[in-house]
Amino acid sequence: MNNHSPAFIREDPWRIFRIMAEFVDSFETLSRVGPAVTVFGSARMPRKDPFYRAAVTMGRELAKRDLAIITGGGPGIMEAANKGAARGNGKSVGLNIELPHEQKGNKFANVPIHFHYFFARKVCFAKYSVAFVFMPGGFGTMDEFFEVATLVQTVRIPQFPLILFGKKFWSGALRWMREQMRGRNKFIGADDLNLFTITDDPHEAVAVISEYLDRVGPPDKVPMAFS
């Protein structure tokens, strides 16, 4: 491939500056937010669903503990967690990205940040969080789950709490990881499945996160990713 083609000279170097601008703007905003918990989950979750209500409860209770809530900024579970944080008078961060279907910013994110590039957005989820909650979701949630789990497993980020919310939803994936990844093929280590806490109780999820923060010390002592 000729990297000196007119299209490369005209477009790609300038694209680098757009990427850099996304990182600079988002880092500047998020560095002032303080310790945060990222909540992942489906944009398609109905407001009447118990998981939606659980995400509202979790966001509110975490906000009461002076923890910001970070979501992808869209509808469904993201809206629910942002709503809970806003109702708890906390910082409710929405890392929104425009997609052809279903993604649009929700009104409960009082710290909205807009992205064009998926990878810049994903860096911000990991860099500014001290815990992660994975609610039921689709391909995007699975992508985020395995990416964060890989970062913890490979010690690229600290061993933050990883909460799998919804025992029935996650049980099949955990069984497959246990039987295929670990048992039959030894593709993961014996302790890798101990990186997660699985629960159906939003208050238990909050307690796990709170206990971790109590153990590591005050906010300025909490280890951060990519430091």
- What the chain holds in terms of domains, given with CATH numbers, is 6-218 (3.40.50.450)
- Which token pair is 155? 């010690």
pTM of the model: 0.91
SS3 call for 195? helix
The tokens 């049980």 sit on which residue? 171
Cβ pair 139, 44 in contact under 8 A: no
- Which token pair is 89? 């008078």
Cβ pair 124, 114 in contact under 8 A: no
Q: What pLDDT shows up at residue 30?
A: 96
Cβ pair 42, 138 in contact under 8 A: yes
Cβ pair 182, 190 in contact under 8 A: yes
Average pLDDT of the segment spanning 194-217: 95
SS3 call for 134? strand
Identity of the amino acid at 133: V
Q: What pLDDT shows up at residue 1?
A: 46
- Which token pair is 59? 């966001």
Q: What pLDDT shows up at residue 13?
A: 79
Q: What pLDDT shows up at residue 5?
A: 61
**Which position has the higher pLDDT, 220 or 38?**
38
Alpha helix stretches (DSSP H) within the chain: 6-30, 50-64, 77-87, 118-127, 139-153, 167-176, 202-216
Reported confidence tier of residue 104, pLDDT bands at 50, 70, 90: confident
Give the Cβ contact number of residue 21 at 10 Å. 12
Q: Is the pLDDT of residue 103 over 70?
A: no
Q: Which has the closest alpha carbon to 95: 119, 111, 80?
A: 111
Q: How far apart are CA 97 and CA 118, in angstroms?
A: 7
HSE-up (13 A, CA, CB side) for residue 151: 22
